[in-house]
Amino acid sequence: MPHKLFEQACEQSKGLATFDDVQNLLRDHIGVVAGVETVDLKNACGAILAEDVIAPRNVPAFSNSAIDGYAFASASLEASRKLEITQEIFAGAVPTETLEKGQAARIYTGAVMPQGADTCLMQENAVVDGRVLNVPQGIKQGANTRHAGEDLNVGDVVISKGTRLGAAELGAIATTGIGTIQCRKRLKVAIISTGDEVIRPGEDLEPGQIYDSNFHLLNGLAQSSYIILDDIGVLVDDEQLIFSTIERLSQSHDVILSTGGASVGDKDFIIAAMEALGILHSWKIAIKPGRPLAIGQIGEAIFLGLPGNPVAAFNTWLLFAIPMFAYLQGANWVPPQRYPIPAGFSMPNKKTGRREFLRGWIENSDNGPVACKFERDGSGLISGLTRSSGLIELAENVSEVKQGTLVNFIPFSEFGIAS
């Protein structure tokens, strides 16, 4: 069934939108388009779970020993602390004899507890004389045993729908014995670089040309988003070419991403293409770096026109493309955690009315950790990105930053990106 991602253009999208406006626009207007497929657990890292995983059995399935040592009934010890070792139980074996009072079993980590036993003694603490075990004072009933169902009970939700699967989630599902799960399919995302001056690395540079860093920047980020990034290459600033390419891609892809050409220059055709072919929702966002940004819909495809400057393209991917992908994939998206940290820099004049994202990192000073910023602010300076480990967010109402003022630091890892 056709899915309308945006029903209509939003009024707020006409003028200058705030950061929150655009976040809300994405949250409220983007639906789930990714289909569902059955995935083997070993291929599911990074995928979004399409349905709750319910535990089909208890984990652990049986009570077992947490140590190499000796199992017995704690109540036995009231009569005597000397017990007779009557059986040996290895991991994987099923004990057949019930343990009577006064008896102990030699047992190994992970082995099933014999009937009648409720406590294990570590072999390091055991004094054994032939077939007699001497149990020292102080061992508590139930010590060193793992109870059936203590981790998960049959019927428990192991991992809920919409969760992005990482190592911990995959391990948890595996313990229940489930080997295949229902996940959202990878989104098909076309990526276009635009610009008469832009060529791909590896080619010879003519005067006036620059190398396409955006593609590699975003291709690297895409590795953490469980999408198929389809490289369309570099399009020259030609209206016809841009219109026809975008129209074609809108029929075959869930998302079209472009960098550059989204401003008001005479050779910027991205906005015009969106208006002519679909709906333009939002552009001119009050953030820095990150202008110009265009969000729209062409047919069933979402169009995200990112800025040409590499740092701005990187920023807008983190801030807008990542939640957008999450909504399209049915993922539970939560805003990245902001950590208030004293500024290790000062910024006497910050323009109010827009949100700024400085590239930065944490350093340890004599007074504890401080947030440092890359000294130069230009949104074309890619060295600021390689130096940084996160973004420093300055809210719209901030007009200056003094050394020691608390600023919000957002580690890159909070966006779920690998690097």
Which residues in the 227-266 window bind Mg ion by CB under 5 A? 260-261
Write the CA distances from 78 to 73, 82, 83, 136, 343, integer angstroms: 10, 10, 11, 13, 64
Q: Which of residues 176-235 bind Mg ion (CB under 5 A)?
A: 195
Interhelix angle 239-250/270-277, rounded to 10 degrees, is 50
The residue sitting closest to ligand AMP, measured at its beta carbon, is 308
289 touches ligand AMP by CB under 6 A: no
Does the protein bind Mg ion through residue 292 (CB under 5 A)? no
Distances (CA, A) of 70 to 122, 141, 197, 351: 7, 13, 75, 70
Q: Which is nearer to ligand AMP, 309 or 388 (CB)?
A: 309
User: Per-residue x/- mask for ligand AMP, residues 365 to 384, rule CB under 6 A?
Assistant: --------------------
Minimum CB separation of residue 379 from Mg ion in Å reads: 14
Three-state DSSP class for 162?
A: coil
Closer by beta carbon to ligand AMP, 169 or else 212: 212
Instruction: Give bridge partners of residue 199 from the DSSP assignment.
Output: 211
Q: Judged by CB under 5 A, does residue 305 bind Mg ion?
A: no
The amino acid sitting at 182 is Q
Show contacts of 377-386: CB within 8 Å, 24+ apart. 378/311, 379/288, 379/289, 379/307, 379/309, 379/310, 379/311, 379/312, 379/315, 380/309, 380/310, 380/311, 381/311, 382/213, 382/217, 382/310, 382/311, 384/311, 384/359, 385/217, 385/310, 385/311, 385/314, 385/359
Q: Is 290 in the site for ligand AMP (CB under 6 A)?
A: no
307 part of the interface to Mg ion, by CB under 5 A: no
**Amino acid making up residue 110:** G
Cβ proximity of 7 and 29 under 8 Å: yes
Task: Decide: is 174 part of the binding site for ligand AMP (CB under 6 A).
Answer: no
Task: Report what 49 binds from Mg ion, ligand AMP, none; CB cut-off 5-8 Å by kind.
Answer: none
C-alpha closest to that of 281 among 259, 298, 261: 298
Q: Is 212 in the site for ligand AMP (CB under 6 A)?
A: yes
For residue 274, state whether it binds ligand AMP (rule: CB under 6 A): no
Using CB under 6 A as the criterion, what x/- string covers residues 294-313 for binding ligand AMP? Answer: -------------xxxx---
Determine if 171 is a binding residue for ligand AMP (CB under 6 A): no
Subset of residues 242 to 261 that bind ligand AMP, contact rule: CB under 6 A: 259-261
Question: Could you tell which of ligand AMP, Mg ion, none binds residue 210, using a CB distance below 5 to 8 A set by kind?
Answer: ligand AMP
- State which residue, 55 or 189, has the beta carbon closest to ligand AMP: 189
Structure tokens that stand for 253 in this block: 């892809």
Near ligand AMP by CB under 6 A: residue from 21, 156, 197, 247: 197
Helix ranges restricted to H, 101-212: 167-175
Q: Note the residues at the interface with Mg ion (CB under 5 A).
A: 195, 260-261
Residues contributing to the site for ligand AMP (CB under 6 A):
193, 195, 197-198, 210, 212-214, 259-263, 265, 307-310
